[in-house]
Amino acid sequence: MSLIELAIRFFLIAIVVEICYGLLVKCHTYNFSDSISSLQLGMISRLVGLLHYALLVL
């Protein structure tokens, strides 16, 4: 398992923990747009690696 795959799992667990904490203290601490941005950046970094690999194969 790569470091990025571990980071994605940790990130998703952190999202769940933050949502649960916000519900527990009745305070909105979770910002959905920040999470989407971070996930998009992670996907873009994976895409760049895939494109780099595809160029090496060609």
Rounded to 5 degrees, what are φ and ψ at 49?
-60, -40
Domain that holds residue 23: 3-57
**pTM of the entire structure?**
0.56
In the prediction, which pLDDT does 57 show? 81
Q: Give me the number of domains the chain comprises.
A: 1
In the prediction, which pLDDT does 22 show? 85
How is residue 2 written in tokens?
């790569």
Q: 29, 18 in Cβ contact below 8 A?
A: yes
Q: How many CB atoms lie within 10 A of CB 19?
A: 15
pLDDT digits (tens, 9 = 90+) for 4-58: 788 878 888 988 888 888 889 988 777 778 878 877 887 888 888 888 888 888 7
